[in-house]
Structure 1
Amino acid sequence: MGFLSVLSFAHRCVSERLRPGDIAVDATAGTGADTLFLCRAVGAKGTVYAFDIQQEALDRAAGRVAGEPDAPKLHLLLRSHADMREALPLSVHGRVSAVMFNLGYLPGGDPRIVTRPESTLPALDAALSVLKPEGVATAVLYPGHAGGREEAERVERWAEALPESDYQAIVYRFANRGGHSPYVVAVQKRKVYIGYRRDNNESEAQQR
């Protein structure tokens, strides 16, 4: 049995942290695959927000979810993922369990319309700000298309710069598939602690 694909790994990271009734965000609706996955994970009592700048992508996502027996409240937003903080209701800030990014371009759509670091990096910052403690953000990166390598490298540097005291960040990639293969960056928000953090990685103060 082989290792998980990058998409399956992203789904695994999210599924382990999502529960029925949770709130989740698909930051790049695309073909709607992640939107459908999130809808099934949170169930009828949950809520999913899906962003995309192309109406075609939102229509595809709506089509995938249509007919689901336990579909949650689905909000399709024709907006950039960089607008996430402003677009999401204040009532859900700090309560989102997962945010998923699948970067690049819409399969079957116009390949000239691609995600770019100028909007992706602010969107990632916004995602972390709306996550709840132990919530997770995943980004599938595609260095193989024009501009994709720069975006992937900048997302990696963004993750590397996150303070360890507040976040855990990992990179999942296949080492022997060349430099153009897609890979995943995943970030989990740490729980909030009261008191102080001891030196030498000793046990931390009582959790809130």
Structure 2
Amino acid sequence: MLKRILPQAKFFAQEVIKQGDTVIDATCGNGHDTHFLAECTGERGKVYSFDIQEQALANARGLCEEKNNIEFILDSHANVDKYIGEATIKAAMFNLGYLPKGNHSITTSHVSTLPAIDKIFNRLEVGGRIVIVVYHGHPAGKTERDCLLDFLSKWPQKDAQVLNYQFINQKNDAPFIICIEKNRHT
């Protein structure tokens, strides 16, 4: 059977991550992807988990309290380069939109998301992936979606493969995945 969006997003990331890798959860939210990435990378790995809301990081810390390989960062993912040092990144995950059960007026935005993707891609290993779940059922999400698709559709295919995984017969602006896989050093 076809995988639903969130299991497929995890599958895309898990396919390339090995124990000991360095990865990024660019939108920590309630910590589910952070926890998943910590499991994938193991004790020798490193997870950088970003969010701009203290409540999100508090929720994630509670979910991930037994994990010792996570650095929680209260800052925008657009500032990723200030925190990862010289690390090479194997994978990154984004869940665009707003914090579930949080303040829906605080959303991700193309203003920070596009620079974050660009910075992470520049540090991504060849064969590494950026997996983005796009929630576009709200006005800011539609703007971010359009800017993201426009931005990524112009990337040279020699540098990256950019996949759009979505169900086209679902109602209510169903989320979809964009998966970027790096082809060569840029």
Q: TM-score scaled to structure 1, two decimals?
A: 0.86
- Indicate the residue corresponding to 1:175 in structure 2: 168
C-alpha contact 1:20 1:46 (8 A) present in aligned 2: yes
TM-score (normalised: structure 2): 0.96
Aligned amino acid, residue 31 of structure 1? N
Separation (CA, whole Å) in 2 of partners of 1:153 and 1:178: 18
2:99: which partner in 1?
Answer: 106
What is the CA–CA distance in structure 1 between the aligned matches of 2:68 and 2:162, rounded to whole Å? 29
Structure 2 CA distance for aligned equivalents of residues 24 and 66 of structure 1: 18
- 1:147 aligns to what SS in structure 2? helix
Q: CA deviation at 1:179?
A: 6.2
Cα distance in 2 between the residues matched to 1:20 and 1:37: 12
Tell me the amino acid that sits aligned with residue 87 of structure 1.
Y
| Superposed CA offset, 1:177-198 (max 9, x none) | 14611000010001349xxxxx
Query: Matched residue of 2:139: which SS?
Result: coil
Please give the root-mean-square deviation of Cα atoms over the aligned residues, in Å: 1.4
Distance 1:72 1:6 in 2: 28
**Count of matched residue positions in the alignment of Structure 1 and Structure 2:** 186
- Higher Rg: 1
Is the contact between residue 158 and residue 184 of structure 2 (CA under 8 Å) also seen in structure 1? no
**Corresponding residue for residue 39 of structure 2:** 40
Unaligned runs of 5+ in 1: 194-208
4+ aligned runs moved over 2 Å, structure 1: none
Could you tell me which of 70, 74, 78 is aligned with 1:78? 74
Q: Distance in 2 between matches of 1:47 and 1:6?
A: 25
**Structure 2 stretches lacking a partner, 5+ long:** none
Aligned-residue identity in percent = 34
